[in-house]
Amino acid sequence: HRHKLQVALFSVSSYACQRRTTLDNHNSNLTDALSLLAENAELNNEDGRGVAFRRAAALMKALPTQVISMSQLRGLPCLGEHSLRVIKDVLENGVSSEVESTKQSKRYKALKILTGIFGVGAKTADRWIREGIYNLEQLRHSGQTLNRAQKSGLEHYDDLNEPVTKAEADAIGEIVQKAVDSVLTGSQVALTGGFRRGKLTGHDVDFLITHPEEGKEVGLMPKVVAWLESQGFLLYQKTTRNSYLESKDETASHKIWRAVRVDLVVSPISQFAFAVLGWTGSKLFERELRRWAGHEKNMSLSSHALFDNTQNKYLRATSEEEIFAYLGLEYIPPSERNA
Ligand code: DGT
Ligand code: MG
């Protein structure tokens, strides 16, 4: 007998910033497994292993169809021995035994619960676990001293672990716009983070604030924060990065507000394009852009600037498109940066 077969082999670029990754994921069974192992590695401070699993997951997200056989993966980049073993397990058995045992492990469960507290990272959670603290109840009765962020995080644990919806993000956007308008006319607010990439939910809402006249943005953040505070919106704030607002939601019957994490970043207009690119994400897309810049172009990219190490000068840009062009990359719109 003779069979004529057509085999579709995937061809995928190795850097996530060279690929278009939409939210339309054909391999969520595989990416969920790899992402969980990445998360577990990160929770255990195994950063190298975490990145390897993140890259493998991102590669699977970029595939145009569902993978059903290992043979389809031949020649693909980013898939190490360990990731391939996990994929094989899922394809053959429906689940990965490593993922299942991780999910059920006492340590993983405790790390998830404890790092779910705003202000608690992997190191703190690990210390608590070594002292026998595995959940919020045990933490509350442990006599551990919590810092201001952690106290606040524990108090609003459920709210802050409830995904933020696009509608909530839009409502908060209006509040932030109002704040910015009241303290400095002409200021602009841009939604960044996952919502700019088209996600329908997020763990927080990210905004970037600027003013068309360079220098006018100086001192803007404390004014915006003071305005939000005076209007009763602010529950907790820290000037370095994390802050959250209570979002007034009249539809909730039990209480009329809920706590939502909000990230505000102020950028001078000269750095705005770099800031927009840097804060839109995804995290892996950003990491890959910086790796591409450094390893392939001898440039250093940050959310402030792009430096060309060969020409020994900063490259100015007023749009994301210009930055991709400097980097020799095809422009990828935000909705296709979901690596
Ligand atoms: P989410 O909020 O869970 O739906 O997902 P994202 O993608 O909005 O992630 P988020 O809010 O942690 O961060 C927004 C983007 O900002 C992220 O995709 C990459 C960037 N980013 C995150 N953390 C930092 C940071 O500490 N510094 C800089 N420059 N960029 C960051
Ligand atoms: Mg976000």
204 is known as an active-site residue: yes
What does the pLDDT average to over 182-193?
A: 97
Q: Which residues surround ligand 2, an ion (CB under 5 A)?
A: 193-194, 202, 204, 206
Mean per-residue pLDDT, 175-192: 97
Complete DSSP assignment for 110-143: HHHHHHTSTT--HHHHHHHHHTT--SHHHHHTTT
Residue 164 pairs in a beta bridge with: 202
- Decide: 334 in ligand 1 pocket, CB within 6 A: no
Secondary structure of residue 335 in the 3-state scheme = helix
Probe ligand 1: pick from 283, 302, 303, max atoms within 8 Å of CB? Answer: 283
Q: Which residue has a Cα nearest atom 7 of ligand 1?
A: 194
Residue partners of 240: CB distance under 8 A and separation at least 6: none
Residue 251's pLDDT is 47
Domain 272-336 has CATH 3.30.210.10: yes
CATH 3.30.460.10 assigned to 164-191+201-266: yes
pLDDT category of residue 234 using cuts at 50, 70 and 90: confident
Q: Is residue 90 scored above 50 in pLDDT? A: yes
Query: Cα of 202 to ligand 2 centre, how many Å?
Result: 6
> What number is the average pLDDT over the span 241-261?
64
Into which CATH architecture does domain 16-102 fall? Orthogonal Bundle (1.10)
Tens of pLDDT along 278-335? Answer: 999 999 999 999 999 999 999 999 999 999 999 999 999 999 999 999 999 999 999 9
Domains 105-155 and 272-336 share a fold: no
| Maximum C-alpha span of the chain | 80
Q: What is the predicted ipTM?
A: 0.95
For residue 337 and ligand 1, the question of a CB distance below 6 A is answered with no
Q: Whose CA is nearest to atom 14 of ligand 1?
A: 193
Which candidate in 47, 206, 249, 308 is catalytic?
206
DSSP string, 217-260: TTTHHHHHHHHHHHTT-EEEE-SSS-EEEEEE-TT-SS-SEEEE
Ligand 1 nearest-atom number relative to CA 206 = 11
Domain boundaries, the chain: 16-102, 105-155, 164-191+201-266, 272-336
Percent of residues, the chain, with pLDDT higher than 70: 94
Q: How far is CA 114 from CA 17, 40, 51, 148, 261, in A?
A: 33, 13, 22, 16, 17
Pairing mode of beta strands 313-314, 306-308: antiparallel
- Please tell me the distance from the alpha carbon of residue 73 to that of residue 55, in angstroms, as a whole number: 14
Give the integer Cα–Cα distance in Å for 219 and 241: 16
Taking alpha carbons only, the member of 215, 213, 190, 174 closest to residue 279 is 190
* Angle ∠(330,332,337) on CA atoms, nearest 5: 140
Residue 88 CA to ligand 1 centre (angstroms): 31
Residues 6+ apart with CB under 8 A from 164: 201, 202, 203, 204, 205, 260, 261
The CB-based long-range contact list for 136-140 (8 Å cut-off, 24+ gap) reads: 139/114
Q: What share of the chain is helix, strand, coil (3-state, %, to 5)?
A: 50, 15, 40
Q: Region 253-278: what's the mean pLDDT?
A: 91
Task: Indicate whether residue 204 lines ligand 1 (CB < 6 A).
Answer: yes
Reply yes or no on whether the pLDDT at 253 is more than 90.
Answer: no
Q: What is the pLDDT at residue 10?
A: 87
Task: Read off the pLDDT band of 245 (50, 70, 90).
Answer: low
Q: What is the pTM of this model?
A: 0.93
Q: Is residue 286 lining ligand 1, measured as CB closer than 6 Å?
A: yes
**Quick one: average pLDDT of 137-144?**
97
Q: Is the peptide bond before 282 cis (omega within 30 degrees of 0)?
A: yes
32, 249, 263, 308: which is the annotated catalytic residue?
A: 263
Per-residue pLDDT at 8 exceeds 80: no
Pick the more confident residue, 4 or 109: 109
105-155: CATH number: 1.10.150.20
Give the model's confidence band at 132: pLDDT under 50 very low, under 70 low, under 90 confident, else very high: very high
Quick check: 269 and 217 in contact, CB under 8 A? yes
Residue 203 Cβ contacting ligand 1 at under 6 Å: yes
Quickly state the pLDDT bin for 35 (edges 50, 70, 90): very high
Residue 206 annotated as catalytic? yes
